[in-house]
Chains A and B, each alone.
Chain A
Amino acid sequence: MSHLLQQEVPLNLYLLLSAILFCLGVVGFLIKRNLITVFMSIELMLNGVNLSFVTFAHQWHAVKGQIFVFFVMMVAAAEAAVGLAIIIAVFRARATLAVDRIDLMKL
């Protein structure tokens, strides 16, 4: 029991989790038909990549990995603000958020 409590986690598992999160984000981006959910899948992909950066920062004891994650978070915040404003503008023009109905420029 105490052996189980002292065990350390191999970093391969963190990288595997990061790859799975990224791939789930790609699947969401392709499959989902609501514009907001597609945008959320993009955020999921960014988070998967962040986890991978932090894992490598831990392995190499390099703080620049964590700084890059900090910058990714800031850029994701800016992107989310502008992207959601665009989604609101699209909703005002077409009154729907279904991806299949806003894929033509002229109705």
Chain B
Amino acid sequence: MHLILFILFAAFCLAGAVNLLFQTHPINSALSLIVVMVSLAVLYLLLGAEFLAAAQVIVYAGAIMVLFTFVVMLLNAGREERTRGSRAYIVVGFPAVVILLAIAATVVLHINGLGGSAFGDSLSGAPGSTNLEQLSEVLFTKLLLPFEVTSVLILVAILGAVALARHTEPERTAGK
């Protein structure tokens, strides 16, 4: 059951990621990325991280990707074009990444003793505590400072985004 679910959603993930690369219009790439994120949320559920699965859907697929979709719709820049620069990157970049992937895959597939994930798995802890309780126990006591600093970071990002994307007033010349 676990294996079937993993294969199904890993296939969706890979299909979405490959589709992101093959599509020319950015709106199709954005929708493929949403598919990737939702399948990743299911994979987090299979690994026992329920709060992260919910956060992935709410934050990533439901807010960040909405932002991307808005920008694509508003700017309406249209389909990509193939240039001389892009052909050079395909010729050089693609083999380099294939080599990188081969190294990573060799390392990853030869690790022994990792164990597996089974149905109904969750992080161990006190038998009654849920994943959310374990997360918040650490987040609000030992890691409180990074948590508060992250909220300041998000505030700074909001101010920066508003300042950058604002219409600036045209300057008036004297004697107009």
Whether the Cβ atoms of A9 and B116 lie closer than 8 Å is yes
Whether the Cβ atoms of A66 and B21 lie closer than 8 Å is no
Main secondary structure of the interface of A (DSSP, over half): helix
Which of A12, A40, A64, A81 lies in contact with B29, CB distance below 8 A? A40
Cα A14 to Cα B105 with chains together (Å): 11
Question: Which residues 31-84 in A have Cβ within 8 Å of B in the complex?
Answer: 31-34, 36-37, 39-41, 43-44, 47, 50-51, 54-55, 57-59, 61, 63-64, 66-67, 69-71, 73-82, 84
Minimum distance in angstroms from A91 CB to a CB of chain B: 5
Main secondary structure of the interface of B (DSSP, over half): helix
Cα A23 to Cα B43 with chains together (Å): 19
Interface size on A, residues (CB 8 A): 74
Cα A99 to Cα B86 with chains together (Å): 9
If the complex has contacts A40-B20, A54-B47, A73-B55, are A47 and B100 also in contact, measured as CB distance less than 8 A?
Answer: no
Residues of A within 8 A of B26 (CB): 34, 36-37, 40
